[in-house]
Amino acid sequence: MTDPVPFDLPSVALEQLRPVDVDALAGPGAPTHPPRILILYGSIRERSYSRLLSEEAGRLLRWFGCEVRSFDPRGLPLPDGAEPDHPKVKELRELADWSEGMVWVSPERHGAMTGIMKAQIDWIPLALGARRPTQGKTLAIMEVSGGSQSFNAVNQMRVLGRWMRMVTIPNQSSVPKAFLEFDETVRMKPSAYYSRVVDVCEELVKFTHLVRGRSAYLTDRYSERVESAEALSTRVNQRAL
């Protein structure tokens, strides 16, 4: 593992950065491969602070033992502005299928998440045939702001996570005046905000170990079982006629 800590922190802080105890979380028959995490960020600026924050999260998640992939939103068409076989749409949907958890990082713009962030989420459907690309998967949310601390973007993304039937973890990160939080090497400076990013990544990994391998059972719903049974009964009766 590579050390994700950008500077020499006090030893007492380094000592508290601990690997996740997988044995304490994963039960018998749980998947043994590294948790698969997809990161989405909501800006295409050259010096994008949402991208820089997503990269910090990626370093931490790899340290915690995850396999991490990040989607570059450049070239993604607006929702309904292209067919689903567009290369960027296909790439995004394949990554969503591959993942077991996600991190969404958006700037706050005009008091909301960016259109770039929302477009990525809108291209991921609730269902693709019999597959549900997001249902039962874990989600962590973060935002960056140019001014004072705000929670508008993370609050919106939390609503979207629920709508996408994801297990959105309780913790979240909001980094105000993000331009002050990264150094000349584009690494995040040690601070309470950085500590919160560590908290979020650690919690996401724990929840992902708890949920993956069990998500089908956790999202098995009475109403959907009734609907499936009624549909099956209808098909049987039609064949009998």
Q: And the tokens for 33?
A: 């491969």
Angle subtended by helix axes 115-123 and 152-163, to nearest 10 = 10
Count of CB atoms within 10 A of residue 82's CB?
14
From the number of C-beta atoms within 10 Å of its C-beta (0-12, 13-18, 19+), residue 195 rates as middle
Cα(68)–Cα(54) distance, rounded to whole angstroms? Answer: 11
- Phi, psi (rounded to 5 degrees) for 70: -125, 140
Q: Mean pLDDT, consecutive 10-residue segments, the chain of 241 residues?
A: 62 79 82 95 95 96 96 96 96 96 97 96 87 92 94 96 95 96 91 94 96 85 83 81 71
- 70, 106 Cβ separation under 8 angstroms: no
Question: For 165, which DSSP code?
Answer: T
Q: Is residue 17 part of a domain?
A: no
Q: Is residue 131 part of a domain?
A: yes
Q: Is residue 159 part of a domain?
A: yes
Count how many domains the chain has: 1
CATH number of residue 176's parent domain: 3.40.50.360
Position 109 scores a pLDDT of 94
Q: Is residue 229 part of a domain?
A: yes
Q: Is residue 21 part of a domain?
A: no
Q: And the tokens for 134?
A: 């997001």
> The domain containing residue 222 runs over which residues?
33-240
Position 2 scores a pLDDT of 53
- Give the chain's largest Cα–Cα span: 77
Q: Is residue 40 part of a domain?
A: yes
Position 4 scores a pLDDT of 61
From the number of C-beta atoms within 10 Å of its C-beta (0-12, 13-18, 19+), residue 100 rates as buried
Q: Is residue 45 part of a domain?
A: yes
Q: Is residue 191 part of a domain?
A: yes
pTM: 0.89
